[in-house]
Amino acid sequence: MKNKIISSVLFSALALAGCNAQAEKTNFDNLSQSDKDQIGKIASDYIIDHPDVLIKASNKLQSQQEEQQKAEAKKMVKAVLANKEKLLSDPATPVYGPQDAKVALIEFFDYQCAYCSKMAPYMKQIEEKYPKVKFVFKETPIFGSQWEASDYAAKVGLWIYKNYGSKAYNNYHNDLFATNKMEGQLQKSDINAVAKKIGADISKFDDKENTSVDISLFKDLGFQGTPSFIVMPVKNANENNTFVIPGADPNSIVTAIEKVQKQTN
């Protein structure tokens, strides 16, 4: 068993060398078990005598993964910059914060998303810590086909913003997450109750007149899930001052805000 594990590790190291690794694997699979065991012993002895091989392979793999992540991030930033008007200037998108804000924090979220729910208290803290930041709320009900309340909550949110304004929407947003209901637990009755609590006459909301929420921008930017965040200056955004955070990472959000604030002051 030890020889098999080590030979597998050695193959992983060989795979880093280039595209011939698949041919090497095919040849290895065609060998008899005794030949495989012998190769395993040779690999085991070699690695024991040269442990630096595994360290070098591990370092190279880590380096390749980091480069891949950087390339993906750069690609997403370019997509963000190509869509900055849709991100920052869409009149139907809920926003909260000063009109003259220099920094924008954009969040893509679903009210049924567990990670979005866990991030909500941190987002509220960030909102309180950075009152000069413009918060942009991109309703993204990716679970709409699975849970009807996901799409319903997003549509009610957009309706509240349109009819009751920014502050009412922000209260709805925070209070709905404060229910701690997610992944199918959130129901229309919960959404209606929160809407009523923040002063909206939910009886005037007509679900039939409100079409499904468009999440095409979320897909165009290359995001894979919610929550996802973008921190960028409201004006003169470029590749050096625009940050994409695809996941629940409050520390990275704060770091990005601090960097953009320094550049815009």
Cα 216 from chain centre: 15
Which pLDDT value is given to residue 15? 42
Whole-angstrom Cα distance, residue 106 to residue 137? 6
32 Cβ partners below 8 Å, 6+ apart? none
Angstrom distances, CA of residue 65 to CA of 20, 59, 109, 229: 19, 10, 27, 22
Burial status of residue 101 (CB atoms within 10 A of its CB: 0-12, 13-18, 19 or more): buried
Residue 237 tokens, joined: 């955004």
Residue indicated by tokens 């815009």: 264
Residue numbers of the chain with a pLDDT score lower than 70 = 1-29, 53-71, 209-211
> How does strand 243-245 pair with strand 133-139?
unpaired
Helical H segments across the chain, by residue range: 2-15, 21-29, 33-49, 52-82, 84-88, 114-129, 148-164, 166-178, 188-197, 216-220, 250-264
> 83-264 in CATH: which number?
3.40.30.10
Which pLDDT value is given to residue 39? 77
Q: Are 119 and 248 in contact (CB under 8 A)?
A: yes
Return the CA Rg of the chain.
25
Residue 240 tokens, joined: 């050096």
Q: The dihedral of CA 26, 27, 32, 36: what is its sign?
A: negative
- Domain residue limits, the chain: 2-70, 83-264
> How does strand 228-233 pair with strand 243-245?
antiparallel
What is the reported pTM?
A: 0.74
Q: Which DSSP letter does residue 83 get? A: T
Which pLDDT value is given to residue 80? 94
What is the DSSP annotation of 229-253?
A: EEEEESSS--TTS-EEE-SS-HHHH
Burial status of residue 216 (CB atoms within 10 A of its CB: 0-12, 13-18, 19 or more): exposed
| 184 φ/ψ sector (left φ>0, alpha ψ -120 to 50, else beta) | left
* Strand partners for 104: 134, 232
Q: Are 164 and 202 in contact (CB under 8 A)?
A: no
Whole-angstrom Cα distance, residue 213 to residue 210? 8
